[in-house]
Amino acid sequence: MDAQSTFDSVVKAIDTTALIGAPIQWLLGIAAVALAAAAILPPLRRWLGHILVATSALLLAGELVLVWFHWRIYESAVVVNPQTGQVTGHIAVPLWIESEKLYVWAVVVAVMALAMRRHRNELLPGVALLLAGLVAGATVWGRPFTEPLPSFFGQYGSYLTGMASGVPAMSMTAYEGMEGARQFFYNTWYMWVHPPLLFVSYGAFTVSFVATLQMVKSRYSAYETTAYRWARLGYTPLTAGMLLGFPWAILAWQGESWWWSGKVNMSIMMWLLYTAYLHARLYLRRRGMWRLVALVAILSFLVLLLTYLATYVIPGAHSYA
Amino acid sequence: MHEVEAMERSALRRNWDFGLALATVILLGSLGIQSFLGALYVWWAQRSNPAWEQLGYSDFVSRMNAIAAPQIVLLVVVMGLCVPKRLFSRKVLVAVSGAMLAVGLAVWLATASLATGLTVYLALAGLIQVAVVALTVAGTRAPSYITEGRLTKTGSGLLHLGFIVFGLVVVAMQDSAFMLPVFWTATVLMLGGTVLSFYADRFAVRHPVAKGGE
């Protein structure tokens, strides 16, 4: 492997993505403002459906650009054993890490907003407002097209520098670090299953949260049913995603008390609260029970937001992703 | 007289169900609050002392484990108590629940190992739950549920069986060679049970009523 040609190839993929993606990023920023305005201001409400379709189309176009980008990275970014000169493998960077997390959440919510049929007129403004927040966060904070995957490129850049140094010890250290990350993080099956399941559940819980707020506001029981339907849609992938993390955590964090790490803690709390919500809901016909159910549902979603933010705030294995 | 007794029994069962569900919600909420406070503490400790992970993390883990242990034990006990309620009448229910607790307690005291006591307790609950699922699948009237429909009930039964098996993995099998296969069994039971209890109406086969009311 020639470190310089690999570097050039990776830089070319980054530049091309920025060239195509920067206008999409700008347009998404404008779409976020338009979505929020149409959700808040009643005179603009009739345009909400069209703006939602346009935003979703932009998000999906951007996602296609990101898929292409990841494919280019996969082709270019290889890891080579400096002792044998053999390529040990390509790096398959998952599509839902680092700067792309909020973007994926926004895509999921956009698709769900488009698929939403029941109570569309009543729930759409709330869902659109949250989607506007996600899109704004993805474009202003995440910037997946113009500043993609900073941790990965930092790590891979260090690896290439080590390999190009010509010092055997440095090359070996660089190789061991990168190969470990390739095998146990980027390319592991778990990273390709666990996060997308969680983002599907986050999307469904977002719609459920809006329906719960609508129920509290209007005291109309049909919204409670809608909130429950979206919550049960979110609960299954949430449970699956968290369960699938268990054997991986036991292997990857062998000997560590990983269950008390900040992010795991918050995730467990979120799952416990949604489980409590589904249990409490069985007794909805009891006098005043709907208040408790609504309270637990709202609390669960707030904890979901905190769980997401915990990745950035609390250092640990999850903050790497 | 019989009607009054039946109503009383039904009311008592509802109260027992509600009490167990409330206890589950309270315990889950309490563990959730502990997790939240723990996460806040980790955040604060790491900000105020960059070397905290090397110096204070193991103490933190021990303290968190000590606080969580009684709650998890109670949760396991409540989970076990949820099982016989499906099968037994009031008097038998009290006797079976009491016997399960007594056997678990006796094993704990005899072996001086809480984990072994919990394992035996969960194994007993698991056996009863297997019977509950079998009777539910067979369509007998014996198991009583809050939910309606055989598929929904089967889903609920499988889901709870999955939780019990997962409880066994956590309590007794973390270092066992059988940990992974048993874990995957629990995962399939939990996810299959969840999907079935949420979406039973989608899977149900509806038999058309023949003309003439047959």
Q: Which two tokens stand for residue A134?
A: 């996600």
Residues 6+ apart with CB under 8 A from A264: A249, A258, A318
Q: Answer yes or no: do A239 and B25 touch at CB < 8 A.
A: no
Interface predicted TM-score of the whole assembly (ipTM), two decimals:
0.76
Which chain B residues are within 8 Å of A268, Cβ to Cβ? 31-32, 35
**pLDDT tens digits for range A106-136:** 999 999 999 886 667 789 999 999 999 999 9
A235-253 per-residue burial string, b: 16 or more CB within 10 A, e: under 16: bbbbbbbbbbbbbbbbeee
Per the listing, tokens 């108590």 go with B81
Exposure of A249 in the CB half-sphere (CA atoms within 13 A): 19
Which chain A residues are within 8 Å of B46, Cβ to Cβ? 314-315
Residues 6+ apart with CB under 8 A from B102: none
Residues 6+ apart with CB under 8 A from A20: A65, A145
99-128 of A, contacting B, C-beta below 8 A: none
B164-202 per-residue burial string, b: 16 or more CB within 10 A, e: under 16: bbbbbbbbbbeeeeebeebbebbbebbbebbbbbbbbee
The residue among B1 and A210 whose pLDDT is bigger is A210
Q: How confident is the model at residue B83 (pLDDT cuts 50, 70, 90)?
A: low
- Phi, psi dihedral angles at A287 (to 5 degrees): -60, 125
Task: Considering only CA atoms, give the Rg of chain A.
Answer: 22
- Indicate whether A232 pLDDT > 70: yes
**Residue A99, amino acid:** S
Q: Which two tokens stand for residue A78?
A: 């290889």
Three-state secondary structure readout of A101-114 = HHHHHHHHHHHHHH
* A238-242, B171-175, B182-186: least confident range: B171-175
**pLDDT tens digits for range B192-208:** 999 988 887 777 666 66
Q: Does B32 touch chain A (CB under 8 A)?
A: yes
Which chain B residues are within 8 Å of A250, Cβ to Cβ? 174, 179
Which chain A residues are within 8 Å of B28, Cβ to Cβ? 272-273, 275-276, 279
Q: How far apart are CA A273 and CA A280, in angstroms?
A: 10
Q: Which two tokens stand for residue A58?
A: 């932009």
Identify the pLDDT of residue B1.
43
Tell me how close the Cα of A151 comes to any Cα of chain B, in angstroms. 21
Q: Give me the residue from A239, A279, A315 closest to B194, CB to CB.
A: A239
Q: Give me the residue from B31, B46, B61 closest to A315, CB to CB.
A: B46
Q: Answer yes or no: do B39 and A240 touch at CB < 8 A.
A: no
Give mean pLDDT, residues A268-274: 85
Residues 6+ apart with CB under 8 A from A151: A98, A320
Of A68, A87, A84, A79, nearest to A17 by C-alpha is: A68
Which chain B residues are within 8 Å of A283, Cβ to Cβ? 18, 21
SS3 B159: helix
Identify the pLDDT of residue B211.
52
- Indicate whether A269 pLDDT > 70: yes
Tell me how close the Cα of B183 comes to any Cα of chain A, in angstroms. 8
Of B204, B185, B85, B66, nearest to B144 by C-alpha is: B85
Of A298, A316, A14, nearest to A156 by C-alpha is: A14
210-239 of A, contacting B, C-beta below 8 A: 232, 235-236, 239
Q: Give me the residue from B31, B183, B194 closest to A236, CB to CB.
A: B194
Tell me how close the Cα of B64 comes to any Cα of chain A, in angstroms. 8
Q: Do the Cβ atoms of A87 and A79 come closer than 8 Å?
A: yes
Q: Do the Cβ atoms of A304 and A202 come closer than 8 Å?
A: yes
What is the distance, to the nearest Å, from the Cα of residue A77 to the centroid of all Cα atoms in its chain?
23
